[in-house]
């Protein structure tokens, strides 16, 4: 039997969450435009100028956000994606911005609904699916602790997914008031998956980015990793890991900034997202031009991100993740039912990082699944 492949970074929006976003008029929201067959999922502040333009003129191109394909919402699509890439087990999580935008009054009940929905999906596919719960971080502390108790009681829950905002919509993860949350997670054996959403202020990226000319490249390839790096550095500086020695944190995107320094792939992912943004000949040309420039004009030192990460923290600390359904195949004739280069590139990165020695293959097996099975206590049922 081939060794197990576990995807620890794979998102879904359950139907209840989609309904919520469809009913909203402020971010995050879902909008339908006459020029797009799929509704658009609009998450980022940086998409607001395009949203305003497309609201004034529904035929405006490019449209804001990204197409809300079934890959974001459908369990059969998730399972087909897993089968296509030989992924044996997935640890599902709600995608950003989770429940960060909800008022304190509704956040706890919506967290309960969402986590129950994930739990039911996992129960229908035992041993194949597990999940990370969403927390109602805008609610009072007792409600958050109740939500953690609920999550811990769900048999397929193995942790929580956390943004960087902390309590009360912005106090951060170095806020002493959030320590009881970390203590409760540690006591329940739930791992915190720290994931970015807010990026950097748009002003950093300049007016052309604000006008939508660079698609998602700046906020995703640059903003996301820096955001995660700042958040975890603040946690270190505040002594969170000393105060809660049982806390276990998984950092998204290969440890964020650390990975970006050495990783062409993540930048390529951003370029692809840019290309895929809308359709229209101009965009294809721009996408090809960016992609081409990337390979013609830059050189890297041969160490892939995976290798750099292994050198930094060791093979037993790195886990495979796809970030599905973000970074789908792009360009003309893109087949979202086929192999996703964003995944295949990561798999190649792991193989190249470890080489073909026996020890190397053992390391690759650990990264592709063995580490996750141990750390998240995943067992086939
Ligand atoms: N990956 C995510 O998880 N979220 C985004 O918004 C973009 C990429
Ligand atoms: Zn993600």
pLDDT, one tens digit per residue, over 150-182 is: 999 999 999 999 999 999 889 999 999 999 999
Alpha carbons 190 and 159: distance in angstroms, whole number: 4
In a domain, residue 287? The reply is: yes
Half-sphere exposure of 316 (CA within 13 A, CB side): 2
Average pLDDT across the chain, whole number: 85
Q: Look up the CATH number of the domain holding residue 344.
A: 3.20.20.140
Using one digit for the tens of pLDDT, what is the confidence trace for 317-366? 889 999 999 888 877 678 899 999 888 888 888 888 898 899 999 999 99
Residue 22 is part of which domain span? 6-375
Q: Tell me, yes or no, whether 183 lies in a domain.
A: yes
Q: Which atom of ligand 1 is nearest to the CA of 252?
A: 3
> What is the total residue count of the chain?
381
What confidence score (pLDDT) does residue 329 get? 85
* Residue 266 or residue 196, greater confidence: 196
The mean pLDDT of 230-248, rounded to a whole number, is 91
Per-residue pLDDT band at 271 (split at 50, 70, 90): very low
Does ipTM surpass 0.95 in this model? yes
Query: Which pLDDT band holds residue 219 (cuts at 50, 70, 90)?
Result: confident
Q: Quick one: tokens of 9?
A: 């970074």
From 95, 161, 267, 277, mutation site for ligand 1 pocket: most ligand atoms within 8 A of C-beta: 95
Q: Is the pLDDT of residue 298 over 80?
A: no
Q: What is the pLDDT of residue 293?
A: 39
**Does position 296 have pLDDT exceeding 50, yes or no?**
no
Residue 301 covered by a domain = yes
Question: Which residue has its alpha carbon closest to ligand 1 atom 7?
Answer: 326
Whether 125 is in a domain gets the answer yes
Check pLDDT > 90 for residue 15.
yes
Is residue 167 one of the residues assigned to a domain? yes
pLDDT in tens, 43-100: 988 889 889 999 999 888 888 999 999 999 999 999 999 999 999 999 999 999 999 9
257 vs 142 pLDDT, higher one: 142
Does some domain include residue 86? yes
**Model pLDDT, residue 16:** 95
Q: β-strand 29-31 against 191-194: which pairing, if any?
A: unpaired
Closest C-alpha residue for ligand 1 atom 4: 96
The confidence score (pLDDT) of residue 380 equals: 58
Strand ranges across the sheet with 157-162 = 6-12, 89-94, 129-134, 157-162, 191-194, 249-251
pLDDT digits (tens, 9 = 90+) for 17-33: 999 999 999 999 999 99
- Judged against a pLDDT cut of 70, whether residue 274 lies above it is answered with no
Beta carbon of 322 within 6 Å of any ligand 1 atom: no
96 close to ligand 1 (CB < 6 Angstrom): yes
255 pLDDT tier (thresholds 50, 70, 90): low
Number of domains the chain is built from:
1
> From CA 222, how far away is CA 169, in angstroms rounded?
22
| Predicted confidence (pLDDT) at residue 249 exceeds the cutoff of 70 | yes
Q: Is residue 239 part of a domain?
A: yes
Classify 40 as helix, strand or coil. strand
The answer as to whether 381 is a domain residue is no
Q: Which of 12, 269, 326 to mutate to test the pocket of ligand 1 (most atoms within 8 A of CB)?
A: 326
Q: Tell me if 95 CB under 6 Å of ligand 1.
A: yes
**DSSP class of residue 205?**
G
> Is residue 182 within 8 Å of 211, Cβ to Cβ?
no
């Amino acid at each position: 039997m081939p060794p197990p492949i576990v995807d620890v970074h794979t998102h879904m929006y359950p139907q209840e969450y989609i309904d919520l976003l469809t009913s909203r008029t402020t971010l995050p929201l879902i909008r339908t435009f006459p020029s797009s067959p799929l509704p658009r999922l609009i998450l980022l502040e940086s998409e607001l100028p395009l949203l305003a333009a497309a609201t004034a003129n529904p035929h405006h191109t490019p449209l804001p956000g990204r197409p809300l394909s079934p890959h974001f919402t459908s369990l059969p699509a998730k399972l087909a994606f897993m089968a296509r890439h030989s992924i044996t087990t997935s640890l599902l999580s709600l995608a950003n911005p989770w429940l960060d935008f909800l008022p304190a009054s509704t956040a706890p009940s919506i967290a309960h609904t969402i986590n129950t929905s994930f739990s039911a999906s996992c129960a229908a596919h035992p041993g194949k699916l597990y999940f990370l719960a969403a927390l109602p971080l805008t609610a009072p502390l007792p409600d958050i602790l109740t939500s953690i108790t609920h999550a811990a009681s769900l048999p397929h829950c193995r942790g929580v997914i956390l943004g960087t905002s902390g309590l009360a919509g912005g106090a951060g993860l170095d806020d002493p008031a959030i320590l009881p949350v970390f203590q409760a997670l540690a006591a329940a054996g739930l791992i915190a998956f720290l994931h970015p959403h807010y990026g950097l202020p748009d002003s950093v990226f300049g007016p052309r980015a604000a006008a939508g000319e660079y698609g998602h490249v700046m906020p995703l390839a640059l903003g996301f990793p820096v955001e995660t790096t700042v958040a975890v550095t603040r946690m270190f500086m505040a002594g969170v890991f000393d105060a809660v020695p049982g806390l276990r944190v998984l950092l998204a995107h290969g440890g964020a900034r650390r990975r970006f320094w050495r990783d062409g792939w993540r930048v390529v992912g951003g370029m692809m997202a840019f290309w895929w943004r809308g359709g229209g000949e101009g965009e294809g040309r721009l996408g090809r031009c960016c992609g081409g420039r990337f390979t013609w004009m830059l050189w890297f030192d041969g160490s892939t991100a995976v290798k750099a990460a292994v050198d930094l923290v060791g093979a037993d600390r790195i886990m495979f993740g796809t970030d599905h359904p973000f970074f789908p195949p792009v360009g003309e004739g893109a087949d979202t039912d086929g192999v996703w280069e964003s995944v295949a590139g990561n798999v190649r990165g792991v193989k190249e990082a470890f080489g073909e020695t026996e020890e190397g293959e053992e390391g690759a097996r650990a990264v592709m699944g063995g580490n996750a099975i141990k750390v998240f206590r995943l067992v086939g049922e």
